[in-house]
Amino acid sequence: MSDTDSFIDEVTEEVRRDRLFVMLKRYGWIGGLAVVLIVGGAAYREYNKAQNLAASQRLGDDMIAALSLDEDLARAESLSQISAETPGGAAVLAMLQAGALADAGQQDEAVTRLQAVALDAELPLIYRHIASFKALGLQQDSLSIAERRLQFEALAQPGAPLALLASEQMALLDIEAGDPDAAIDRLKAIVEDASVTADLKERATQVIVALGGALDEAAVSEG
């Protein structure tokens, strides 16, 4: 490399440094602002998380205090005075209120609370199905077998959160309708399902035996 080329390179490098210095002086505040935003954003997330945790703890404490009351109507009244800050918390609160109302003999009001949760499309499916399942349980005397079967079928679809529990209820409807063979077939399918819980499997097995059905020993011994 010639002396001329070396001199040109040195001048070019010096010009670059000068431009960088000018840009840092002119726009350096952007970097500072970015740091402030990053730190501020992290602090806000932590604050928001702490606020949500505190709200959840308050809601839980209020629910426990209400449920500790001895009188059914007093529990229902106390629960109705609690407010929840999240849709999920409000759904749980509504279901607890429905339970207290049902215990107090106010079945219609309890069903209304549960159906409101079941029909809320903004809630996760598990909340809606639990509410629907509970509402159906409270309407055994007011809905026909056909009406209950139709609604339990919707809850028993493959992959649904309460599919096996809904199938169990449909087996009981088969018994109520005088069709024990259909009930046995349905209960056997529950027993053989890989996701069945121990309690549900035991209940289904006992009903099959009580109905005079035969069980596959391999299916019974699994799990």
- Domains in the chain, number: 3
Token couple for 204: 């289904």
Q: Whole-model pTM above 0.85?
A: no
pLDDT of residue 8: 47
Note whether 115 and 137 are same-domain residues.
yes
Between CA 139 and CA 105 the distance in angstroms is: 13
pLDDT of residue 118: 94
Note whether 220 and 164 are same-domain residues.
yes
pLDDT of residue 11: 45
Note whether 103 and 137 are same-domain residues.
yes
Nearest CA to 174 out of 206, 208, 205 is that of 208
In a domain, 147, yes or no: no
Note whether 10 and 60 are same-domain residues.
yes
In a domain, 81, yes or no: yes
Note whether 84 and 125 are same-domain residues.
yes
In a domain, 160, yes or no: yes
Between CA 145 and CA 142 the distance in angstroms is: 10
| Residue 128: domain span | 69-142
65-89 as b/e, with b when 16 or more CB fall inside 10 Å?
Answer: ebeeeeebeebbbbbeebebeeeeb
Between CA 129 and CA 200 the distance in angstroms is: 18
176-181: list long-range contacts, CB under 8 Å, 24+ apart. 176/145, 177/145, 180/211, 180/212, 180/213
Token couple for 80: 């109705």
Note whether 5 and 59 are same-domain residues.
yes
In a domain, 151, yes or no: no
Note whether 27 and 74 are same-domain residues.
no
Q: Which of 142, 165, 180 is the last residue of a domain?
A: 142
Looking at this protein, which amino acid is placed at residue 147?
E
Blockwise average pLDDT, block size 10, the chain, 223 residues: 51 57 55 54 60 68 77 82 82 87 90 93 92 93 93 94 95 94 94 93 94 72 54
- What does the longest C-alpha to C-alpha distance in the chain come to? 107
